[in-house]
Amino acid sequence: MASTLTVDKIVGSASASIVHAPGHVIQVKQSVFTGIQTISSASFTDITNLAVTITPSATNSKFLLSFNLAYAAVNNSAPMFRFSGGNSGNFVGDAAGNRTRATLYMADDWGNNSATTFEQIAFMASHQYLDTPSTGSAITYKLQGRGDANGGIYINRTHADVDGSGEGGRSAASITVMEIAQ
């Protein structure tokens, strides 16, 4: 025989506003960037507006980080992305020789010396990571990007950045952080 539980409101014993049901989302924060950005550096650089500050409800909470963005790059560059904040800096590839450790590494020699191969293409990137910062203090999570010595990357636009309603376009990017109860 099936049972039914019907309630109008669940109230936490320690705080009326928060109920910690393990595995459930406690709070969600998001930041959106609708402009464009050029990152000319071969060092990781914060992507404009893609930062979220969140204060944990409990020190054992986990945080599901996700980002979505459109990007392009200068011919022969190597676009790379990574999270920063909390322990998210650990979510990079293993060290190997002189290779850059990144969350998401897109290509070496972008466009492979072709002057027009990817000029009018913006690629989509997305990733997720479950962070365990073990703190009760506010955490600022960010998304960072970089090119390399051959050139930079573009956020929310193509390399050519064509200004035409039939061919040109702009995108939006976001970072979302969800606190997960334990």
pLDDT, tens only, 55-111? 999 999 999 999 999 998 887 888 999 999 999 999 999 999 999 999 988 876 666
152-168 mean pLDDT? 88
pTM metric for this prediction: 0.86
Residue 151 φ/ψ region, left for φ over 0, alpha for ψ in the -120 to 50 degree band, beta for the rest: left
11: helix, coil or strand? coil
31-48 mean pLDDT? 97
**pLDDT score of 122 more than 90:** no
Phi first, then psi, for residue 26 (nearest 5°) are: -95, -45
CA angle, 56 as apex, 55 and 62 as ends, to 5°? 130
Please tell me the predicted confidence (pLDDT) of residue 61: 96
**pLDDT score of 173 more than 70:** yes
Q: For 25-180, CATH number?
A: 2.60.120.1340
Give the start-to-end residue ranges of the domains of the chain. Answer: 25-180
